[in-house]
A and B are shown apart, each in its own frame.
Chain A
């Protein structure tokens, strides 16, 4: 599906400085991107990739996850109400649904919906010192990939152990 925007992180460029996480926290109170690392030291910011086939939305019993006009998967908090199943958190292969103690108990990236409405891009993208995180059309991603980014991505996949991969 072209015309859908998403976030793309080149893990080989990420230095783990946590700027994305803290800028997100300042902008949204609860951060929706979270820095971790693999055992051998590849930095892994856990982030929502606004999947084409979103497992979180499929798992949500309340239909609280809807795609907006730019392609962002939006959590409609009044439908969600931090429901007891937490199916979305379990379903997300990228560990990008966050449990929180503020407001509705689930938080996820909405690609800075409010900022987009007034013509600005996601805050993490603006402030990453390494330009490791990009706000792109889903179709553009393959052109951005490099040998290094693919290697780092593979290490991250092995680390996260996505369902359906070995």
Chain B
């Protein structure tokens, strides 16, 4: 198999230009930026909390959708051809207490942000969206309620034998999966493969509106998953752990409330961005395009790209954001070295990029 070629912009990297860039996060945006900058001859060092580069392409999306090998080969190519240095198991401190997000268990080293800014000519933050959205219903903090990421992440991560990562114990159990996006489908699919006795997929609208599409839902039903559409979860029942899920479905005249006897509940309703130091870096302004320089934060040599900036999206947007931020970063370093920062083309500002944030 050919690599996912993050170095796609060049067949051979340019000669080293003597500059060093640190990239925080080795997901699609970070690796795209890495590919761009290493092609230009930058010494790129990539920091990631996980044991391997790839981010959620590797640890979130199941291997039958994105071949692991293709991502691995892409990262290896960056190392061998682009001279990129990967620091895995390394977290740049800190958006919250450690062990706050999925994947934090892997950290062996925590580096301070200040040291990073001094060590490199510029930094790019590509930390993605790792915090799961909450339903906001009673009982969702009971043991046995998982977010989609909490459920899916260990399935991939357990292969890297971190001490705190355990496969979700679903064999013989009954599961309710809430949501109908691709994560929800992946959770239901994985649960069936891990030997769950019964899986319900619960969605507030119908399969016609489901983000994953009716075809995926039909395939899950053929695997034995029970599809409950137009269903709203009201509360998770149980004392110390989950014993049931109270749901509401439209009846003849008014909504009918019933209880599903389930052992586990997985809420796959999306994630939010988790950038470190969002306030200090003035990310809200970057998001709106109120910046001196495309993708630059309030700290001059710190740039930001991907989901960390614009919230959860698709791999393609993350890649594009990483490429553009890398181009902007390289332009900035070039013009700064020549003392020509006022020659910057403001047409390139985020605000003029119609459709980018759609």
Contacts and interface: CB of A to CB of B under 8 A. Distances in A.
Given A129-B315, A130-B65, A130-B67, A41 B8 contact: no
Contact of A26 (B66, B214, B314, B324): B324
Interface string A19-36: 111110111000000010
B214 to A, nearest CB: 4
B214 A39 contact: yes
A20 B11 contact: no
Contact of A127 (B5, B210, B212, B214): B5
A16 B215 CA distance: 14
A123 interface: yes
B324 A21 contact: no
A47 B324 CA distance: 24
A119 interface: yes
B89 to A, nearest CB: 23
Given A25-B320, A126-B5, A128-B4, A19 B70 contact: no
A165 to B, nearest CB: 20
Interface in B8-27: 8-9, 11
A18 B67 contact: no
A131 B67 contact: yes
A131 B70 contact: yes
B70 A26 contact: no
B349 to A, nearest CB: 16
Contact of A21 (B32, B216, B316): B316
Nearest to B58: A129
B294 interface: no
Interface of B: 1-2, 4-6, 8-9, 11, 28, 32, 57, 61, 65-67, 70-71, 182, 208, 210, 212-218, 314-317, 319-320, 323-324
Given A35-B316, A127-B32, 7 more contacts: A20-B316, A25-B320, A26-B323, A42-B215, A126-B4, A127-B319, A131-B1
Interface of A: 15-23, 25-27, 35, 37-42, 118-120, 123, 126-131, 155
